[in-house]
Structure 1
């Protein structure tokens, strides 16, 4: 029986995790899967045939240590999925520039290397908006993401200056669609569409993650959604075992918020066929374990 590691972290008590839904289907194909923390420095990664990055949801706080771990896995005999090349490309949201350069529509964005209050305020005119969102280029789970108006920016100035003093960040108009309609996520395994969900924030919030009270529902993806997702996947630098394409409606078209290729929740709980769909894609790529 071959061995597969589902890469996670030490403490996920405050998160919703569904990776264990893969363990039994993988076993049916001769693969022994187990969850392993990326923080375990005693692991000999060569004992695994494949290491799948899954719920490593603290990596953004320890980016260099995380990349060091992945490079060690990549240098072992284990196959890393998604690949190190993909992770290094996807780990900074600057990859959105690559997508845009290849004709993929993204949320309008300004990019900054250092915090400058005057330049931030100029974003209101640039986007012709009353509200904006600021977020680090390396982030997850809406960490250090702020929504503000001109008035609230005054009170946030010192905090934002501290948070972004040594972080590259992006500035975007706040899109009311996130409240009115929600954010869509489309899931692909080995390039094949699996399922889609709609995520809406709880009342009074704009973050759609479950951990922040977001509400989820399974939806049927429209052809417009699928087209945006296909164009996005075609722009990736390498093949991927899994991908989540997050989109939102903006000015009567769907635009990409993010393409999650490192540690996205794949919401296996939202579609009963999705764990098997993932495992089928895995076995197509790596074969049966016995």
Structure 2
């Protein structure tokens, strides 16, 4: 029986996760799954054949320690999915600049060198918007994300100064389509499309996560969304090849869609929203390992 560590956090209380739906199809394939907190000390990662990064949703609180753990995993005999190289690229949202340079449409974004409250009026003016969003370049679960309105943003200055005292930030116009329609998430396993959902925030909010009251709906993406998503995945493929898992999030923008984020580290994959998706993931997992084993044999014979 092979062993797969599901990399998580000390406690998932208050969070929604569907990763347990992988247990049975993985077992049927001859894999034993075990939840392991990334903060657990003295783990022999070589005891596992594969480590899947799934729900370490507090890593942003101690990014250096998290990266150090992933480096230890890659130095062991276990295979890390997704890889440390992908994590290092994706952990800072400045990766969006690189995707934009490859003709991927992203939500319009400013990248200030540091937070300065006196610059906020210029942000409203730049986007010609009455509402903007400030968020860290390294974040999860919408932590330290601020929805500012021109009429009363000054009431948030103290909180903003505290949030961005030690964090790099990014600034975007508020996208009304998030509240009017929602955020679209498409899931790809080993480079192949699996399923899609629409996440709608609670009334008066803009955060679409379930933990913040967001509502989920399984959807079939319209052709334009599929086209844009496939284009985005092709751009990611050019940089990193096919990944075991990817979630890409979009908002309707003008006559098409704009990429909000490419989630390649620890995205919820919402296996509960498509009953066949756990098996698709496990099939992709098996195919990936088989391909890598064949490649290793070929290289070994050279």
Q: How many angstroms apart in 2 are the aligned matches of 1:13 and 1:137?
A: 25
Q: Does the CA contact (< 8 Å) of 1:114 and 1:166 recur in 2?
A: no
Q: Where does structure 1 differ by over 4 angstroms across 4 or more consecutive aligned residues?
A: none
Q: Does the CA contact (< 8 Å) of 1:197 and 1:217 recur in 2?
A: yes
1:226 corresponding residue in structure 2 = 226
Q: Does the CA contact (< 8 Å) of 1:136 and 1:145 recur in 2?
A: yes
1:158 corresponding residue in structure 2 = 158
Q: Mapping of 1:176-195 within 5 angstroms?
A: 176-195=176-195
Report the RMSD for the aligned CA atoms in angstroms: 1.1
State whether structure 2 residue 172 is matched by structure 1 residue 172: yes
1:35 corresponding residue in structure 2 = 35
2:68 corresponding residue in structure 1 = 68
State whether structure 2 residue 133 is matched by structure 1 residue 130: no
- Normalising to structure 1: TM-score of the pair? 0.97
Q: Does the CA contact (< 8 Å) of 2:9 and 2:58 recur in 1?
A: yes
SS of match in other structure, 1:235: helix
Q: How many aligned residue pairs are there?
A: 288
Q: How many angstroms apart in 2 are the aligned matches of 1:172 and 1:217?
A: 26
2:18 corresponding residue in structure 1 = 18
SS of match in other structure, 1:199: strand
Q: How many angstroms apart in 2 are the aligned matches of 1:88 and 1:52?
A: 16
Q: Does the CA contact (< 8 Å) of 2:225 and 2:256 recur in 1?
A: no
Which of 149-158 and 276-285 deviates more?
149-158
Q: How many angstroms apart in 2 are the aligned matches of 1:68 and 1:136?
A: 21
SS of match in other structure, 1:142: coil
Q: Mapping of 1:209-248 within 5 angstroms?
A: 209-236=209-236, 237-238=239-240, 239-248=242-251
Identify the structure with bigger relative contact order (alpha carbons < 8 Å, sequence gap 6+).
1
Which of 56-65 and 233-242 deviates more?
233-242
Provide structure 2 residue ranges, at least 5 long, that are not aligned to the other structure. 292-302
Q: Deviations over 1:106-148 (max 9, x none)?
A: 0000012311122222011110100000000000000000101
Provide structure 1 residue ranges, at least 5 long, that are not aligned to the other structure. none
Q: Mapping of 1:101-116 within 5 angstroms?
A: 101-116=101-116
Q: How many angstroms apart in 1 are the aligned matches of 2:140 and 2:31?
A: 30
Which of 117-126 and 98-107 deviates more?
117-126
Match of 2:281 among 272, 278, 283: 278
Q: How many angstroms apart in 1 are the aligned matches of 2:228 and 2:7?
A: 29
Q: Does the CA contact (< 8 Å) of 2:52 and 2:81 recur in 1?
A: yes
State whether structure 2 residue 208 is matched by structure 1 residue 208: yes
Q: How many angstroms apart in 2 are the aligned matches of 1:36 and 1:21?
A: 16
Q: How many angstroms apart in 2 are the aligned matches of 1:60 and 1:166?
A: 12
SS of match in other structure, 2:265: coil
SS of match in other structure, 2:152: helix
